[in-house]
Amino acid sequence: MKKFLALMLAMAMVFALAACGGDNAETPATDAPATDAPATDAPADDAPAADATGAFKLGGTGPLTGGAAIYGTAAANGAQIAVDEINALGGIQFELNYQDDTHDAEKAVTAYNTLKDWGMQISLGSVTSKPCEATAAKNFEDRIFALTPSASSTAVTEGKDNVFQMCFMDPNQGSASAQYIFDQNLASKVAVIWKNDDVYSKGIRDTFVAKAAELGLEVVSETTFADGNDTDFNVQLTEAKNAGAELVFLPMYYTPASLILSQANAMGYAPKWFGVDGMDGILTLEGFDTSLAEGVMLLTPFNADAQDEKTQAFVEKYQAQYGEIPNQFAADAYDCVYAYAQALEAANATPDMSAADLCDAMIAQFTTMTFDGLTGEGMTWGADGAVTKAPKGMVIQNGAYVGM
């Protein structure tokens, strides 16, 4: 009788396959190279309405569920706000589609392929680094331009002429932080706590340690943590304390950082803290005692407390729509969409252009244009896809960021 059940399963599957096949039958062009005439690319079955209004199909993948969901949902929300704003202006129109990749390379490729079937013309890559490496390879292969909000590892852009980043590249952050600590003479003995199974953390740590050695900063303690081992930091902190570190460098996201700060406080250890852009968001954690983060320094391109009009309008809108304060992932994704709008406008691109034509136009635009956004003024991009923007040194005082 198990066989019978298996048979039923098989039938269910066949129907499922047939269903997808059926959808696809109308768009035979989806798997052909994107050099096809634009006319064949446009009529994707799912969105005839979008074609009528002439919108650019903008797709992205990110972890919308699972352990990394905070980053993916923030980016998707930030991008959605930007799309709504731009569409309301009546000029360039976007249709946004964010697919879940659960922070996994295989799922990211599937999500990417789903977007391709949908008829994606320009892409927001993936939110996290490893999945983005996988989708960036597909972007390169299919000649679909990608501008990732937050996938910061070098392997994302390496060897791909059509993949660009909105965030800093990891190595830049590491060396900039070491340089900053050295220039400001913040400490001579430094401890580093990093996440051993995370590309982002490891990338920053590597360049930080290399730069520190070059500058003569002494790294007295280096300890790690990993997924599934990221709640208890007493040992790491004890080691840093015993080694006499005056400053602890935390290349990580704000969730583990919040635990480190509270545990250090509990054991009475109060060094200087130095974070990276992933630390942004710590002040807006629901229920977080901001006095714990007093004096934390970080290099970040965005802070939700900034007084300028653009940031305040964005934060307000985000809060009204999603009930939370946006972090830098949201801001990066928001900037991505605006950068696209600017580039598409400058290139006189129209939604009936094929992905490959748009790709060439975007490469030409991004390597020459200058863009002002929430996460920096006067951003420029190199041909390697890396962004150049000035990181702002911030210090937390009385529960708010103050420029250093």
Partner 1 sequence: MKKLSKQSRTSFFTYGGVILAYVLLQLYNGQVGLSSMIQGLLVPICAYVTMALALNLVVGVSGELSLGHAGFMSVGAFSGTAAAIALQGVIPLAPLRLAVAMVIGALFAALAGFLIGIPVLRLNGDYLAIVTLAFGEIIKSVLNNLYVGFDTTGFHFSFLADTVSPRMAEGGKLIIGGPMGISGIPIISTFTAGVVLVLVALVVIFNLVNSRAGRAIMAARDNRIAAESVGINVTKYKMIAFVISAALAGAAGSLYTMSLSTIVANKFDFNTSILILVFVVLGGMGNMWGAILSATFLTLLPELLRKFNLDQYRMLVYAVVLILVMIATNNPFLQRVAGNAAARFKRKKPAPAVEGGQSHE
Partner 2 sequence: MTFLSYLIQGISLGSIYAIIALGYTMVYGIAKMLNFAHGDVIMVGGYMCFFATSGLKDHFADGSVAQTVVPGLAGLLLAMAVCTLLGITIERLAYKPLRQAPSLAVLITAIGVSYFLQNGAQVLWSSNPKICASIIGKGAISLGELSVSHVILLTVVVCVAIMVALTWFTGNTRMGKAMRACSEDKAAAQLMGINVNATISMTFAIGSALAGVAGVLFTSAYPTLQPTTGALPGIKAFTAAVFGGIGSIPGAMLGGILLGVIETFAKGYISTQVSDAIVFAVLIVILLVKPAGLLGKQVAEKV
Binding site for partner 1 (CB under 8 A): 1-6, 8-10, 12-13, 16-17, 19-21, 23-25, 28, 30-31, 64-66, 69, 73, 99-100, 102, 104-106, 109-114, 116-117, 130, 133-134, 137, 153, 155, 158-159, 195-199, 202-203, 206, 226-228
Q: Does 228 bind partner 2 (CB under 8 A)?
A: yes
Which window, 171-179, 209-217, 226-234, 301-309, contacts partner 2 (CB under 8 A)? 226-234
Rounded distance between C-alpha atoms, residue 39 and residue 344, angstroms: 19
Residue 152 structure tokens: 């910061």
Residues between 47 and 66 that touch partner 2 (CB under 8 A): 65-66
Name which of 224, 230, 227 is nearest 209 in CA terms: 224
Q: Is 291 in the site for partner 2 (CB under 8 A)?
A: no
Of positions 30, 46, 47, 69, contacts partner 2 by CB under 8 A: 69
- Provide the minimum distance between the beta carbon of 226 and partner 2 in the complex, in angstroms, as a whole number: 7
Considering beta carbons, is residue 223 or 342 the nearer one to partner 2?
Answer: 223
Q: Which residues 6+ apart lie within 8 Å of 374 measured at CB?
A: 302, 310, 311, 314, 331, 334, 335
Q: Which residue lies nearer to partner 2 by CB, 149 or 391?
A: 149
Q: Which does 25 bind (CB under 5 to 8 A by kind): partner 1, partner 2, none?
A: partner 1
Nearer CB in complex with partner 1: 154/327: 154
| C-alpha triplet 6, 10, 12: angle, nearest 5° | 115
Residue 173 CB: number of other CB atoms within 10 A?
Answer: 24
Which among 127, 156, 129 is positioned nearest to 140, based on CA atoms?
Answer: 156
CB atoms within 10 A of CB 88: 8
Phi, psi of 384 (to 5 degrees): -80, -5
Angle formed at CA 334 by CA 163 and CA 315, multiple of 5 degrees = 155
Choosing from 218, 230, 294, 372, the residue that interacts with partner 2 (CB under 8 A) is: 230
Q: How far is the CB of 264 from partner 1 (least distance, A)?
A: 24
**Would you count residue 128 as binding partner 2 (CB under 8 A)?**
no
Main-chain phi, psi angles of 91, to 5 degrees: -80, -110
Strand partners, 221: 191
As a whole number of angstroms, the distance between CA 283 and CA 87 comes to 32
Q: Which residue from 80, 112, 63, 17 is spatially nearest to 355, judged by alpha carbons?
A: 112
Closest to partner 1 by CB, 66 or 382? 66
Return the range that interacts with partner 2 (CB under 8 A); candidates 105-113, 221-229, 346-354, 359-367.
221-229
- Contact with partner 2 (CB under 8 A) among 61, 73, 165, 303: 73
Q: Which does 266 bind (CB under 5 to 8 A by kind): partner 1, partner 2, none?
A: partner 2
**Residue nearer to partner 1 on the CB measure, 72 or 271:** 72
Residue 263 CA to residue 250 CA, distance in Å, equals 14
Is residue 320 involved in binding partner 2 (CB under 8 A)?
no
Q: Give yes or no for a contact between 162 and 143, defined as CB atoms under 8 angstroms apart.
A: yes
Under rule CB under 8 A, residue 153 binds partner 2: no
Residue 70 in the binding site for partner 2 (CB under 8 A): yes
Identify which of 260, 258, 256 has the alpha carbon closest to the alpha carbon of residue 248. Answer: 260
Query: In degrees rounded to 5, what are phi and psi of residue 169?
Result: -80, 145
Question: Contact positions toward partner 2, by CB under 8 A?
Answer: 65-67, 69-70, 73, 196, 223-226, 228-232, 234-236, 238-239, 242, 255-256, 258-259, 262, 265-268, 285-289, 323-324
